[in-house]
Structure 1
Amino acid sequence: MFGPIKKDPTSVYERILKELTAAIMHGDLKPGDKLPAERSLSEMMGVSRTSLREALKMLAAAGMVEIKHGQGVFITEKESTASILKDFANQNVIDSHTLKDLFELRKLLETQNAIWACQRADNEEIKKLNLLVEKTLNALQDTKDDLVILAKQDSEFHTLLAEATGNKVIVRVMHDLLDLMNDSRCQALSIPGRPFRSLNEHKEIVEALKLRDVEGVKGKMLYHLKNVEAELLKEPVKE
C-alpha cells in the first residue's frame, strides 16, 4: 500500500501526512485497521521514524487515528474533528483539564500552521497579518475595555495564519476550535497586561514570517501559546 516518499521541495513530514490521509479518505485504510509497526512503516515509506511519529501525532490530533501505547496505531471511526469539538461546546463549562487538552491541541496544530504559513504564504498574506497587528494596536489604544473587539481580532490573527497554510481542512478545524475557546480568550484578554503581551507576541510571529524563518516562527508561536495557557490557568510557563 505504501511506497517510498518522493523527494521534492515539500517537507517529508507533509508528504507522509498527505499519503496517510489519502489512504484513509480513499478507503484503503478503514476504521479499526491497524497501521504497520512504526519501524516497518517508516521503512516502507523510506522516511525516518521521527518524521513518521510527528505525522501520526498530527493525524491523532485531527481525530483520524488513535495511538494506543503498547498496541499500535489504529484508524478511528469517521467522526470529524468538528463534531468532536461540538461535543465539547455542548458542555456548559470547560474545566481546567479540558482547557489543557485544548491548548495541547492548539500547540500541536498552530505550530505546524506557523511552519506551513512561513513556507507557503505569499507576501500579501503576510502583509494582511501585519496590518491586523497594527489594527489591533489601535484598538487597544482606543477601546481598552472592549474585550469583544479584542477577542475577535485575536481570533482573526490565528484564522488568517491558518488560511495562509492553504489547507481548507485546517481552516475549518481552527474556526471550530477558536469558536469553542471564545470565552477563555476573553478571560485571558481580561488579565492585566495580557492584550499588549499577546500583541507583542503576534508581532514577533509576523516578523519571523517576513524573514521566512521556519524555526523562528515555530518557536514564537509555541512561546505565545504557552504564555497564554500559563496565565489563564495561573501556572508557571513550562519550558
Structure 2
Amino acid sequence: MGISRKKIYEEIADLIMQDIKDGVLNPGDQLPSITRMAEHYQVSSASIREALNTLSVMDVIEVKHGQGSYIKERMPLGFEHEFQIITRKDIENLLDLRKIIEVGCVELACSHADEEDLGRMQDALGKMRTAVMNNELGEQADYEFHMAIAQSTGNQMLVDLLGDVSEKMLETMKETRRIWLYEEKKSIQKIFDEHQAIYRAIAEKDSGNATGAMMRHLEEVATVLLKQHK
C-alpha cells in the first residue's frame, strides 16, 4: 500500500496506532522487522525508523536493541480501552482541582517566593530545557516545576493537596506532551516557553501575568486531554 498524505513517517505511525486501537496489535506484541515493514508499506527503511522513533517517544512502543520493537504492555491514556486507567471524569476533576489550587499558588508565589524557591523553579526549567534538546517528554521536570511553585507559597496544605494527586498529574502531563509532540500543534519547546513565562512573572512579582499565564496553560492542557477522551 502506498503512503501519500502528511509526512511519510507520520502516516506509518498513524497506521500502527490504528492497528493497536482495532486490536490487530496488542500490548506485548512484537512488530515486524524494519525491512519487512518497509516492504509492506512500500516506503524507505528510514521512514520506518522515524515512525518507530516517534512511537517510542510517545511511549507507545519499546525498542529493544538487538531484539526488535514491541507494543508497550501499558498503553498511553489516549489508546487505552478496557484497561484505561484514568477516565474522562477523572481528568475533568483533576484539571478543575489544578486550576483552583495552582492559580492560587502562583498568586501567592509572587509575594512569598524567595531566592531558594526561585532556584528550585530554575532547576526544574533547566531539566525541561534538557528534555527539549534531547527530544524527550520531560514530564517529571514539569511536575517538579509546579510543585516548586506550591512549595514557594509556604503553605504545606497546598503542597500536600498537589502531592495527593501527584500520580495522576504526572500521567496527564506525560499524555499531554505525547499528544502535542505527535500532532505537532505545539512543540515541546513551546511548552517550555509557557513555563518560563510563568517563572518570569513570579520572579517579577507580577501576580496578574502569573495567574493569567498559569490559567492559559492549564486550559490548553484541558482542551488537549479532553479532546482525546470524548
TM-score, structure 2 as length reference: 0.57
Look up the equivalent residue of 1:216 and give its one-letter code: N
Please point out which of 151, 170, 174 is paired with 1:182.
170
Report whether the alignment pairs 1:233 with 2:223.
Answer: no
Q: Which has the greater radius of gyration?
A: 2
CA separation in 2, counterparts of 1:159 and 1:108?
15
Cα distance change of structure 1 residues 114 and 99 upon mapping to structure 2, 3 Å threshold: same
CA distance in 1, matches of 2:91, 2:212: 21
Which 5+ residue runs of structure 1 have no aligned equivalent?
Answer: 1-90
Match of 1:199 in 2: 192
Shift in alpha-carbon separation, 1:176–1:195, aligned structure 2, 3 A: farther
2:102 maps to 1:110 = yes
Q: Which residue of 1 aligns with 2:140?
A: 152
Whether 2:147 is the aligned partner of 1:163: answer no
The one-character-per-residue Cα deviations of 1:137-190 (angstroms, maximum 9, x if unpaired) are 122212x14x4xx11111101111110011111111111222223222211111
Q: Does 1:220 align with 2:213?
A: yes
Quick one: percent identity of the two aligned structures? 28
* CA distance in 2: counterparts of 1:186 and 1:132, whole angstroms: 16
Q: Name the counterpart of 1:59.
A: none
Mapped contact 2:120–2:145 kept (Cα < 8 A): no
Query: CA 1:194–1:232 in structure 2 vs 1: closer, same or farther (change >3 Å)?
Result: farther
Q: CA RMSD in A?
A: 1.9
Deviates more, 1:129-138 or 1:97-106: 129-138
**What secondary structure, in the 3-state scheme, does the structure 2 residue paired with 1:234 have?**
helix
Shift of 1:93: 2.4
> Using a 3 Å threshold, how does the CA distance of structure 1 residues 103 and 194 change in structure 2: closer, same or farther?
farther
8 Å Cα contact 1:117-1:161 kept in structure 2: yes
Residues 1:120 and 2:112 are matched in the alignment: yes
Structure 1 segments, 4+ long, off by >6 Å, are: none
Give the match's secondary structure for 1:190. helix
Deviations, residues 95-153 of structure 1 (Å, cap 9, x unaligned): 112211210111010000001111111123113212321331122212x14x4xx1111
SS at match of 1:157: helix
Distance in 2, Cα, partners of 1:229 & 1:176: 20
- Three-state SS of the structure 2 residue aligned to 1:94 is coil
Whether contact under 8 Å (2:124, 2:142) holds in the other structure is: no
Sort the Cα spacing of 1:173 and 1:151 in 2 relative to 1 into closer, same or farther, 3 A: same
The C-alpha deviation readout for 1:19-53, integer Å capped at 9, x for no partner, is xxxxxxxxxxxxxxxxxxxxxxxxxxxxxxxxxxx
Separation (CA, whole Å) in 1 of partners of 2:172 and 2:191: 14
From the superposition, tell whether residues 125 and 190 of structure 1 become closer, same or farther in structure 2 (CA, over 3 Å). Answer: same
Q: Cα–Cα, structure 1 residues 232 and 196, in superposed 2: closer, same or farther, change >3 Å?
A: farther
How far off is 1:194 after superposition?
A: 4.7
Distance in 2 separating the partners of 1:131 and 1:151: 14
TM-superposed CA distance for 1:92, in Å, is 5.9
TM-score w.r.t. the length of structure 1 is 0.55
SS of 2:85's partner is coil
Distance 1:119 1:134 in 2: 23
